[in-house]
Amino acid sequence: MTGAAATLLRFEPVAANDGHFVRVQNVDKTFSSRGGTLKAIDNVSLDLHEGEFLSIVGPSGCGKSTLMMMVAGLSPVTSGQITIKGEKVTRPYTDVGVVFQRDALLEWRTVLDNVLLQIDVRRLRRADYEPAARELLERVGLAGFENSYPWELSGGMRQRVSLCRGLIHNPSLLLMDEPFGALDALTREQMNLDLQRIWMETRKTMLFITHSIWEAIFLADHVLVMTPRPGRIAAVIKIDLPRPRRLAVRESAQFGRYAAMIREQFQAFGLLKEL
Amino acid sequence: MADIVTSPETIEKKLPLRARIGIYVYPTATALFIFIVWEAVTRAGWVSSFILPAPSIIIATSFQNLPLLLEMSATTAAEFLLGFGLSVAIGLPLGALVVYARPVELAIYPLLVAFQTLPKAAIAPIFIVWLGTGITSKVLIAFSIAFFPIVIDTVVGLRSAQPETIHLVRSMGGSPFQVFWYVRFPNALPAIFAGLKVASTLAVVGAIVGEFVSSDRGLGYLVLVANGELKTPLVFACVLTLTVLGIIFYFFVEQLEKFVVRWHVSSRQIETVGTY
């Protein structure tokens, strides 16, 4: 990345800090409906350090998304507490970029305006961020599409716009909920490489939710494995693979061991049955 | 970056000329065919002119009575335009209130649905008793028929926003008003316009119903008078004028829609006619 761009985007590596960035302590989440109550999250605690990439992997319906919604302050905890930078989360936390599985682009806004939605809602000056928005779009291969509408783009391109929108205001935390889940395998691999590059350039704290074992390992410093509902933490696995990781790392013995550890967890839940 | 994308230039935005002309040619040809058969049937003397006048006679009558028809049109147009305007002015905020204020929803929504099942033509005489035979009663009858689809479609539209987009704006620190302004309202526009288009035709019906019940001017009034005098061609001339008025009005609403929600699926024309 050029120096000018670094200043423009203020993507400075975050200084190493022993402090917890996100701290989830004994959090429960129960949904009540007419049919009764449903426990989605059961006594989950986790620490996310500054500049760390944490993947959460778990079966569908294990409460991964609910956990992310609670970290973002978009959904209240039933009990326990979540703190970010030592402050208790009681309302939407705003120093954050959020990327969902559905790209959540606004169909009536152009690609550039979708990225700048972040700036409009925050009542910041568009002129200050437009060059950075164009630069971000260019870096994810969307140069020339600034004035296109979302419906003119493919699924992978749309999700890239969504990623740019999550980064444009330079948040210290990026929350991603299965962002590449709806993409085809090839595009998904490319997006993983792109995301790794962005993380290495910016060293933002990232929480990444996925149900793909290899995606979780490929990107993360730590992989957190969750049980089926009610979601509990089954294991935390430290991923010790040098970066930048290439796609071929998946064929390495070490990667295979990590994958086996996670798969064994899933087998223990009775989720995977061979033969 | 290695990626498989199409360049913006390859995305076709307009239908080719041949397809665009077809949009007009086909319906015109169908209409012409019907008129020719109609003309032939009446000229052959199979149907009496005072039961079904030939299209040529209707058009001739329209031109002979043009000043009268225009004068009556002005009254009727004022009635349905004001009725429609009132429907929009009350229907849109009411729809938003139903979505945003739970007590309003509980208190008003069921009554609204009940009111809709009421045949408005049947209560039109009451409006006349309350408000007199002038324009006010017609405007209110047009309003009472036209405002319901606007309220319903506004409610449906405002509720149809993708939850993620709302979460997103909230995570940006957006206020409920910003959620409305940036997400819910623009997202509701296609549904709102669907309601407006239905309402635009219903408002015309309302104005005519009002005139039928009691009036001393307007195209509906002229239909009654001409019918009473067995001037069937003039009745048809009134119907023709009403149709033209209705089409012009609908056209304006549709053009406004095309301008405001040009991003919507219904406005996209990306099919190309290819050759194999």
Q: Cβ–Cβ of B171/A120 closer than 8 Å?
A: no
CA distance A124 to A113: 14
Q: What is the mean pLDDT of residues A121-125?
A: 95
If pLDDT is split at 50, 70 and 90, which confidence band does A275 have? Answer: low
Q: Is B260 on the interface with A (CB under 8 A)?
A: no
Q: What is the pLDDT of residues A167-190, one digit of tens each?
A: 999 999 999 999 998 888 888 998
Contact of A235 with A46, CB cutoff 8 Å = no
Cα distance from N-terminal residue to C-terminal residue, chain A: 49
Q: What is the pLDDT of residues A68-96, one digit of tens each?
A: 999 999 999 999 999 998 889 999 999 99
CA distance A19 to A15: 11
Half-sphere exposure of A25 (CA within 13 A, CB side): 12
pLDDT of residue A147: 94
The nearest CA of chain A is from the CA of B177 a distance in Å of 11
Local structure of A159: helix, strand or coil: helix
Q: What is the mean pLDDT of residues A136-148?
A: 91
If pLDDT is split at 50, 70 and 90, which confidence band does B7 have? Answer: very low
Half-sphere exposure of B122 (CA within 13 A, CB side): 5
Q: Cβ–Cβ of A141/B174 closer than 8 Å?
A: no
ipTM score for this prediction = 0.86
User: If you count residue pairs, one on A and one on B, with CB atoms under 8 Å apart, how many are there?
Assistant: 83
In the predicted model, is pLDDT for residue A17 greater than 80? no
Residue type for position A13: P
DSSP B57-101: HHHHHHHHTHHHHHHHHHHHHHHHHHHHHHHHHHHHHHHHHHHH-
Local structure of A131: helix, strand or coil: helix
The nearest CA of chain A is from the CA of B251 a distance in Å of 23
Nearest CA in chain B to A149: B263
Q: What is the pLDDT of residues A19-51, one digit of tens each?
A: 678 999 999 999 988 888 888 999 999 999 999
Nearest CA in chain B to A98: B168
Q: Cβ–Cβ of A106/B261 closer than 8 Å?
A: no
CA distance A216 to A86: 27
Contact of A163 with A129, CB cutoff 8 Å = no
Q: Which two tokens stand for residue B56?
A: 């040529």
pLDDT of residue B268: 64
Q: What is the pLDDT of residues B41-82, one digit of tens each?
A: 998 888 888 889 999 999 999 999 999 999 999 999 999 999
If pLDDT is split at 50, 70 and 90, which confidence band does B276 have? Answer: low
Local structure of B160: helix, strand or coil: coil
CA distance A138 to A8: 14
DSSP A102: S
CA-derived radius of gyration, chain B: 24
In the predicted model, is pLDDT for residue A109 greater than 90? yes
Q: Cβ–Cβ of B265/A140 closer than 8 Å?
A: no
pLDDT of residue B151: 94
Test mutation, A91, A110, A121, chain B, max B CBs within 10 A: A121
